[in-house]
Amino acid sequence: MQNKFTMAGVMGWPVEHSRSPVIHNHWLREYNITGAYGLFPVEPKQLGVAISGLRALGLAGCNLTIPHKVSAMQYVDWIDPIAKRIGAINTIVIDSSGQLCGYNNDGFGYLHSLYEVNPAWKANRGPIVVLGAGGAARAILVSLLDAGAKEIRLINRTLDKADALAQEFGAVITTYDWSLRHEALQGCSLLVNTTSLGMHRQDSLDIELHDLPQEALVSDIIYAPLQTQLLKTAQAKGNMTINGIGMLLHQARPAFKAWFGVMPEVSNELKKILKETF
């Protein structure tokens, strides 16, 4: 008997730039699974119709990317508690009873990108500095809190947004004015840039690393370019660095498992294939 053909894909607007098909179709081949992962350009006003169409078309589910991660929440039947706290979903899984279930795996992806580089990494090892208070920061903050972070210094250009997050997520988070980003690195164990500063065609992140301890991990979730100025400067100082490709790859793993039944591994071959697309 032939294996069941399973389909999933990513909804976005625009969506052509998404690397998710490269990742999922690679794993489908690697694990000999009969299926496909496609690109679905879905205009914002069609999102509700598109999501309800998943069931009608017999898809296993989908990913959601910009601009649908928040608005999609209203069209699913159930939302995972972690996704509720993050306030966005990036994955829909249709369960065995036909319910549309919403998840957010970005925080999982972020933590696992750290574990990949340092399996012994612990969130409670020392203060963590998070730059940025947008959508990606929310996912990363929730994952760091759940991993046991004891002190998070949150720094954002618009201080009000950081203050609102600290209010929402509790006393582990303290906020600093953007002008204090250099000094706030004193004694920190992890620095993560979640702003868009440093991306292709954006200004680079202006931060002095004099006060950054030598043992601190430095992570930038930007993946285009792979080596941001922040990572280059940190490397030159001798700090261990992590680029954004790990988060991108690891966030895809739980969705693949839910749709296709196998928890996939992030191989060097897949990383090489993905890097060649940038």
Residues annotated as catalytic (active site), given as ranges = 69
Secondary structure element (H or E) that encloses residue 23, with its range:
helix 20-30
Burial (CB < 10 A; 0-12, 13-18, 19+), residue 273, is: middle
Contact status: 168 vs ligand NAP (CB under 6 A): no
106 binds ligand NAP (CB under 6 A): yes
Only one of the segments 48-56, 77-85, 183-191, 193-201 lies at the binding site for ligand NAP (rule: CB under 6 A); that segment is 193-201
Could you tell me how many residues of this chain bind ligand NAP (CB under 6 A)?
25
- In the list 111, 222, 230, 266, the residue contacting ligand NAP (rule: CB under 6 A) is 222
Which residue lies nearer to ligand NAP by CB, 6 or 20? 20
Is 142 a binder of ligand NAP (CB under 6 A)? no
* Bridge partners of residue 15, in order along the sequence: none
> Residue 92: exposed, middle, or buried by beta-carbon count in 10 A (0-12, 13-18, 19+)?
buried
Q: How far apart are CA 225 and CA 168, in angstroms?
A: 32
Q: Does 197 bind ligand NAP (CB under 6 A)?
A: yes
Q: How far is the CB of 36 from ligand NAP (least distance, A)?
A: 22
Phi-psi region of 15 (alpha: psi -120 to 50; beta: other; left: phi over 0): alpha
Report if residue 158 touches ligand NAP, rule: CB under 6 A. yes
90 interacts with ligand NAP by CB under 6 A: no
Q: Is 228 in the site for ligand NAP (CB under 6 A)?
A: no
Asked if 244 is part of the footprint of ligand NAP (rule: CB under 6 A), the reply reads yes
Binding of ligand NAP at residue 248 (CB under 6 A)? yes
Q: Which stretch binds ligand NAP (CB under 6 A): 21-29, 43-51, 119-127, 246-254?
A: 246-254
Between CA 101 and CA 99 the distance in angstroms is 6
Q: Which is nearer to ligand NAP, 206 or 215 (CB)?
A: 206
Query: Cβ atoms within 10 A of the Cβ of 17, count?
Result: 11
- For ligand NAP, which is the closer residue by CB, 189 or 194? 194
Rounded least distance, CB 105 to ligand NAP, Å: 10
196 binds ligand NAP (CB under 6 A): yes
Sequence-distant (6+) residues with CB within 8 A of 27 are 33, 256, 260, 262, 264, 270
Please tell me what DSSP assigns to residue 179: G
SS (H, E, C) 228-269: CHHHHHHHHHCCEEECCHHHHHHHHHHHHHHHHCCCCCCCHH
Task: Output the CA torsion 140→146→150→156 (10° steps).
Answer: 20
Residues binding ligand NAP (CB under 6 A): 106, 109, 132-137, 156-158, 161, 194-197, 199, 203, 221-223, 244, 247-248, 251
